[in-house]
Amino acid sequence: MHELSLTQSLVAIAEDHARRAGATVIRSITVEVGELSGAVPEALEFAFDVCSKGTLAEGAALILRRVPGHGRCGLCAAEAECGELTAVCPACGALAFELDAGRELRVMELEID
Amino acid sequence: MCINCGCAGTGAASALHVHEHAHDHDHAPRAVRVEEDLLAKNDRLAAGNRTRFTRAGLFVLNLVSSPGSGKTTLLERTLRDLGPQLRFAVLEGDQQTSFDADRIAATGVPVRQINTGAGCHLDAHMVAHGVEAFDLPATDILMIENVGNLVCPAGFDLGEDHKVALLSVTEGEDKPLKYPQMFEAASLMIINKLDLLPYLDFDVERCKDFARRVNPRIAILELSCRSGAGLAAWYDWLAAGLAQKRAARE
């Protein structure tokens, strides 16, 4: 459900940057969505159709770039991809696994006319 | 440049005419780098709240849980027990009704209800306006009871010092693993409704282990608002947090 307010922010950020660049229409919006961000890409897509109506982003392609979860163990220094939010090191089992990627929710780039 | 769309059209005419885009000058879209977090605006507003709260010497908690875990009951009990010593204010978040605010108002503590309508969480903007009615410098602890929801409030910073996640023993001990975002974001987990343990298969140690798997630093308290068991430790935790906040200000 919070994808609705995330998507409202997404459209506001895109419109703001597009206006400042003198755009009359946004062709595409590229967004990084971390696997561990808590946002569901399909829900963002669904909300985008609603939130972009009547804005510069109406009809724009929403390009969601998935970022896999990744972390490093503070104890054994193992690095690994991980598909769930956890502090358990997949290599040594210590509660020292620190995530360094996968939480992204960031508008990266626009294409405008 | 084309005056209609701002594109870099070629040919002398393109700067002058207003056209329907029938001509064939180059219409390759321009790329604009953005690199802005979706939560950036909320985070900015939350930082503003935090500065304001810190200046006022206010200790601020964001209470989160599923609906029905006992957030409001814990607040009522806390306000009644500590009301004489500490000055509280409460923000109540719910989609509809002022039932919770009415319960808090009955304790005599200043309260404001925020109805989010279709919204599933409080955000920093709602909190900024929600506290306008309070005399913040004359308040010790601000309790923000979030919308009952173990998913959405996790990502929205309100400017609080800590998120406190409640989990009642009727909900099952696997909640921290099922909803890891919330327990990872929380500084304290309260296992509530301890008086019901004899009637359930809830494994308290297993629940704590699950919470630490997503957040090794999480503090954990067990209590019952009905029997009063464990409340002293919660009150100590509040007093320590408030003292720490004040020390940091000086």
pLDDT in tens, B111-136: 999 999 988 999 999 999 999 999 99
Look at domain A3-69+101-112 and name its CATH class.
alpha beta
What is the Cβ-side half-sphere exposure of residue A109, based on CA atoms within 13 angstroms?
Answer: 8
Taking CB atoms and an 8 Å limit, are B36 and A87 in contact across chains?
Answer: no
Residue A109 tokens read as 């780039």
Residue B26 confidence (pLDDT): 58
Task: For residues B116 and A29, give the distance between their C-alpha atoms in angstroms, rounded to a whole number.
Answer: 28
B150 shares a domain with B192: yes
User: Which chain A positions have a beta carbon within 8 Å of B150's beta carbon?
Assistant: none
Task: For residues B167 and B89, give the distance between their C-alpha atoms in angstroms, rounded to a whole number.
Answer: 23
Tens-place pLDDT, residues B139-187: 999 999 999 999 999 999 999 999 999 999 999 999 999 999 999 999 9
Taking CB atoms and an 8 Å limit, are B29 and A28 in contact across chains?
Answer: yes
Coil, helix or strand at residue B219: strand
Task: For residues B9 and A103, give the distance between their C-alpha atoms in angstroms, rounded to a whole number.
Answer: 41
B67 shares a domain with B182: yes
Strand ranges inside B116-231, DSSP E: 141-145, 162-168, 188-192, 219-222
Residue of B nearest to A94 (CA): B213
Strand ranges inside A15-104, DSSP E: 26-34, 61-67, 70-73, 79-81, 97-101
B85 shares a domain with B47: yes
Residues 21-60 of A with CB under 8 A from B: 21-25, 27-28, 31, 37-38
Tell me, yes or no, if A6 comes closer than 8 A to chain B by beta carbon.
Answer: yes
- CA nearest to A39, candidates A66, A62, A14: A66
Tally of CB atoms within 10 A around B25: 15
Taking CB atoms and an 8 Å limit, are A13 and B154 in contact across chains?
Answer: no
Task: For residues B186 and B83, give the distance between their C-alpha atoms in angstroms, rounded to a whole number.
Answer: 25
Q: What average pLDDT does the structure give for chain B?
A: 90
The residue segments making up the domain with residue B22 are 1-32
- State yes or no: pLDDT of B101 exceeds 60: yes
Taking CB atoms and an 8 Å limit, are B38 and A13 in contact across chains?
Answer: yes
Task: For residues B158 and B60, give the distance between their C-alpha atoms in angstroms, rounded to a whole number.
Answer: 9
- State yes or no: pLDDT of B7 exceeds 70: no
Taking CB atoms and an 8 Å limit, are B39 and A9 in contact across chains?
Answer: yes
Q: Residue B180 falls within a domain, yes or no? A: yes
Among the partner-chain residues A84, A87, A111, the one whose CB lies closest to the CB of B215 is A87
B58 shares a domain with B10: no
Q: Residue B37 falls within a domain, yes or no? A: no
Task: For residues A36 and A101, give the distance between their C-alpha atoms in angstroms, rounded to a whole number.
Answer: 8
Residue A57 confidence (pLDDT): 98
User: Which chain A positions have a beta carbon within 8 Å of B120's beta carbon?
Assistant: 1-2
Residue B118 confidence (pLDDT): 83
Residue B23 confidence (pLDDT): 46
Residues of chain A with pLDDT under 50: none
- Rounded percentage of chain B residues whose pLDDT exceeds 90: 85
B173 shares a domain with B239: yes
User: Which chain B positions have a beta carbon within 8 Å of A96's beta carbon?
Assistant: 216
* CB-CB contact of A26 with A18 (8 Å): yes
Counted domains in chain B: 2
User: Which chain A positions have a beta carbon within 8 Å of B155's beta carbon?
Assistant: 2, 37-38, 105
Residue A1 burial class via C-beta count within 10 angstroms: exposed 0-12, middle 13-18, buried 19 and up: middle
- State yes or no: pLDDT of B82 exceeds 80: yes
ipTM of the complex: 0.93
Q: Residue B200 falls within a domain, yes or no? A: yes
B180 shares a domain with B61: yes
Residue B80 tokens read as 């009644």
- CA nearest to A41, candidates A56, A53, A30, A27: A30
- CA nearest to B167, candidates B197, B137, B128, B122: B197
Q: Residue B38 falls within a domain, yes or no? A: no
* CB-CB contact of B189 with B219 (8 Å): yes
Tens-place pLDDT, residues B56-72: 999 999 999 999 999 99
B64 shares a domain with B85: yes
B101 shares a domain with B28: no
Task: For residues B188 and B209, give the distance between their C-alpha atoms in angstroms, rounded to a whole number.
Answer: 14
Tens-place pLDDT, residues A74-101: 999 999 999 999 999 999 999 999 999 9
- State yes or no: pLDDT of B14 exceeds 50: no
B114 shares a domain with B7: no
Residue B250 confidence (pLDDT): 73
- State yes or no: pLDDT of B17 exceeds 80: no
Residue B144 burial class via C-beta count within 10 angstroms: exposed 0-12, middle 13-18, buried 19 and up: buried
Residue B190 tokens read as 């309260």
The alpha-carbon gap from B163 to the nearest alpha carbon of chain A, in Å, equals 17
Task: For residues B152 and B165, give the distance between their C-alpha atoms in angstroms, rounded to a whole number.
Answer: 13
Domain containing B146 — which CATH number? 3.40.50.300
Tens-place pLDDT, residues B174-232: 999 999 999 999 999 999 999 999 999 999 999 999 999 999 999 999 999 999 999 99
* CB-CB contact of B106 with B82 (8 Å): no
Residues 181-220 of B with CB under 8 A from A: 181, 184, 212-216
B115 shares a domain with B68: yes
User: Which chain B positions have a beta carbon within 8 Å of A95's beta carbon?
Assistant: 212-213, 216
B160 shares a domain with B137: yes
- CA nearest to B183, candidates B146, B220, B234: B220
Residues 226-245 of B with CB under 8 A from A: none
Residue A1 confidence (pLDDT): 64
Among the partner-chain residues B7, B149, B214, the one whose CB lies closest to the CB of A113 is B7
Q: DSSP labels for B149-176?
A: -SSGGGG---S-SEEEEEEEGGG-TTHH
Residue B27 confidence (pLDDT): 65
Residue B150 confidence (pLDDT): 94
- State yes or no: pLDDT of B5 exceeds 90: no
